[in-house]
Structure 1
Amino acid sequence: MLKEKILNRQAGIITYGMTPPKSSHPAEKLAEITEKQYERLKDLDLDGLILYDVQDEAERTDEERPFPYLKALDPTLYSKSYLDHWKVPKIIYRVIGNHTKQELGDWLRLDAADDRFSVFVGTSSSQQQITMRLPEAYELSGKLNDRLMLGGVVIPERHMKKNDEHLRIKEKVDGGCKFFVSQATFNVEASKNMLSDYYYHCRENGIETVPILFNLAPCGSQKTLAFMKWLGISVPKWLENDLLHSADILDKSVTLSLKIFEELFAFGLEKGIPIGCSIESVSTRKVEIEASVQLVKDIQSLIDRKLNVHVTV
């Protein structure tokens, strides 16, 4: 069970991230899209399914968006109306700055007797008008729903500029977060630097590390790569060169993703940090979605192999 794995600080948690379908689709089209995704993912050994709260983010950058923004269904509505038969735990992302205290309070009180999971997300730009900040949302969550397993976002690349991402993690844990999910990960050095500072900070202060799920997303085209960079995902120059000059960019990105996660997972095992993985496809192209599904299987095999060796040693 996902709740127990998080609370027991278990390494190897695997989730899959999905963007809900566009809200403009008619009901029959939404059902068709949902069924296709369900058929692809139902046999995977997932601990949880992440449902994103997609925003326009146009204020974050002056660069033109590679793909047009189309409003998606609210992730809670999508979970309840279309995915309720799928019993895998759903982790609902909520962009907090868009909600009033009353709106978030009403959402927190939903299904109060059930175990729920959510990742609260701040605004993508300091230019955006907000109605609530993350600390306020954490406090409200603690007061209104003690069964909500709260998660936070971690950005290793931010650590390279400010050297304080490990302190942000600590602050969010103090606010109630029990696990973290990164943005798409391509920079091993940034991730290990953050993990190292987090580990030694926790050791020096006598506190336990919490699960951190590193996000992996296959990249199957130059346009997908451009979209990832537009989203703010940091792609090292050497890796971008390898992708753009490879004979098969999708296959190369999957191979590199596996190597990145293998290094981070081994680093976590060595330090006692419970590292997990969240996989997604930022593209709607069938070939990239299928590559993300295969990546789940490959990551599961890698985790099982590494955990077996770790236990034996």
Structure 2
Amino acid sequence: MVDHSDSTAFRALVTGAESGILLFGITPPRLSTAPERIREITAATLGRLAALDVDGLALYDIDDESDRNPAERPFPYLPTMDPAVYHSEYLDGWNRPAIVYRCVGKYAEAELRTWLRTADPERVHGVFVGASSTDKPVLTSLSEAQDLRRDVRPDMLLGGVAITERPEEHLRLIAKQEAGCSYFISQVVYNADAAKSMVSDYFYACLERRLTPKPVLFTLSVCGSMKTLSFLKWLGVDVPRWLENSLRHADDTLAESYEHCVATARDLVAFCRKLGMPFGFLVESVSIRRVEIEASIALAGELSRLLERGRPSE
């Protein structure tokens, strides 16, 4: 059994195609935030994370996705710090791996090349994200970025995004795997059936091709208000109508959402273990409200116990 207290646990779990990975995801501070305030935010974040047994910290790269969804964004788009810069300049107090997202279309090839060359592959892993729509102009395509990583920094673990509700997503996962992806992280899951269908399709497609399935990490995020729910739906998260009704009419929306996240996790754990599919979880809060962030921290702690992490080998 992998020792999750070891800073190399994430690499060991991914390369061994094992289950039980647990990450926590955050968005870097807004680009307009003063340095002193960034240090305060970072100290508060690291304080919350100190008690958690996680294998790494995912740092999101936020892009304007109005091209994908023209509807009004429930929370306005505000540019945030480059996650790689945030990690290198402010997260020296974090002693476990950072999983740095790159919306590759925002960056020129030379900029991505420099980042790949300078990144420490023992401390930094990547997740490359393609354009949010086919019409969006890009500086570097996803395939170009994948090729660049293979040429410049092949020892950096590369992850890919999984959209559980998207038709034929398992074929996209296989294509990304063949392009060098060692793990996948899903969009927020509120529809467990869609997630199970995707990993089932992927697992059996790998079997047919004699490929070893790569770990899929399911993203879970609590929802504490109708505005947060609207934002999840704007992002493209499939929230079943029965669940939306439950959240809308609950006496405590956050508690109802939390219970649903735990139930979803239990469902996915049981399904993946029976299938033999390597899996893990990423917990995040899409809201900056303190109550939702603290609920996300509690959820990560509960998932750690659910995954039976830290137990000695039998």
Q: Where on the TM-score scale, by shorter chain, does this alignment land: which range?
A: over 0.9
Q: Which residue of 2 aligns with 1:282?
A: 286
One of 116, 126, 137 as aligned partner of 2:134: 126
Distance 1:44 1:154 in 2: 25
**1:296 counterpart = 2:300:** yes
Q: Say whether 1:149 aligns with 2:179.
A: no
Which residue identity does 1:26 align to in structure 2? A
Q: Which amino acid aligns with 2:110?
A: Q
In the TM superposition, residue 131 of structure 1 has moved relative to its aligned partner by 2.1
Give the Cα separation in 2 of the matches to 1:200 and 1:113: 31
One-letter amino acid matched to 1:244: R
TM-superposed CA distance for 1:266, in Å, is: 1.1
CA distance in 1, matches of 2:223, 2:44: 21
CA contact under 8 A between 1:115 and 1:149: conserved in structure 2? no
2:56 partner letter: G
How many Å apart are 1:147 and its aligned residue? 1.9
| 1:232-287 C-alpha deviation (Å, 9 max, x unpaired) | 11111111111111111000101001111111111111111111000000001000
SS of residue matched to 1:157: coil
1:238 aligns with 2:242: yes
Deviates more, 1:215-224 or 1:164-173: 164-173
What's the CA shift for 1:106?
A: 1.3
CA RMSD of aligned residues (A): 1.6
Matched, 1:209 2:213: yes
Q: Who is 2:42 aligned against? A: 34
In percent, how many aligned pairs have the same letter? 43
1:115 & 1:289 partners in 2: Cα distance?
25
Once residues 66 and 266 of structure 1 are traced to their aligned partners in structure 2, the CA distance between those partners, rounded to angstroms, is 34
- The 8 Å contact of residues 67 and 227 in structure 1, kept in 2 or not, is answered as yes
**Cα deviations by residue, 1:138-163 (Å, 9 ceiling, x for unpaired):** 111011012211000001100xxx3x
The CA distance in 2 between the partners of 1:297 and 1:240, in whole Å, is 25
| CA 278–112 in structure 1, closer or farther in 2 if over 3 Å, else same | closer
Q: Counterpart of 1:45 in structure 2: which amino acid?
A: D
Q: Which residue of 2 aligns with 1:59?
A: 67
1:270 alignment partner, one of 251, 271, 274: 274
Deviation at 1:114, TM superposition (A): 4.3
Judging by fraction of residues, say which structure has more helix. Answer: 1
1:115–1:25 Cα change, 3 Å: closer
1:80 matched to 2:88? The reply is yes
Note the C-alpha offset of 1:115. Answer: 4.8
Q: 1:116 offset after TM fit, Å? A: 2.6
Gap regions ≥5 residues in structure 2: 1-8
Q: Is 1:261 matched with 2:269? A: no
Shift of 1:111: 3.4
Measured after TM superposition, the shift of residue 195 of structure 1 is: 1.2
Give me the whole-angstrom Cα distance separating, in 2, the residues matched to 1:112 and 1:49.
15
Aligned pair 1:4/2:8, yes or no?
no
Q: 1:127 Cα deviation (Å)?
A: 2.3
**CA offset digits 1:115-150 (Å, max 9, x no partner):** 530100011122211122211111110110122110
Distance 1:71 1:195 in 2: 33
**Which whole-Å CA distance do the structure 2 matches of 1:187 and 1:282 have between them?**
17
Q: Does 1:219 align with 2:227?
A: no
Distance 1:12 1:186 in 2: 20
> Take 2:143 and 2:175, find their aligned partners in 1: how far apart are those partners?
9
TM-score when normalising by structure 2: 0.94
Indicate if the aligned counterparts of 1:115 and 1:148 stay in contact, CA closer than 8 A: no
Q: Residue 155 of structure 1 contacts residue 165 of structure 1 at CA under 8 Å; is this kept in 2?
A: yes
Q: Does 1:92 align with 2:96?
A: no
Correspondence for 1:47 among 51, 55, 58 = 55
Q: Aligned residues, how many?
A: 305
Give structure 1 stretches of 5+ with no counterpart. none
**For 1:19, which of 19, 24, 27 is the aligned residue?**
27
Would the aligned equivalents of 1:178 and 1:210 in 2 still touch at CA under 8 Å? yes
Q: Secondary structure at the match of 1:17?
A: strand
Q: What is the rounded CA distance, in whole Å, between the counterparts of 1:198 and 1:227 in structure 2? A: 28
Instruction: List per-residue Cα deviations over 1:199-250 (Å, max 9, x = no partner).
Output: 1111222211111000000000001101111111111111111111111100
For 1:136 and 1:232, locate their aligned partners in 2 and report how far apart those are by CA, in whole Å: 26
The separation in 2 between residues aligned to 1:271 and 1:66, in whole angstroms, is 38
**Structure 2 Cα separation of the partners of residues 44 and 286 of structure 1:** 17
Greater shift after overlay, 21-30 or 113-122?
Answer: 113-122
Q: Which amino acid aligns with 1:73?
A: M
AA of the residue aligned to 2:212: E
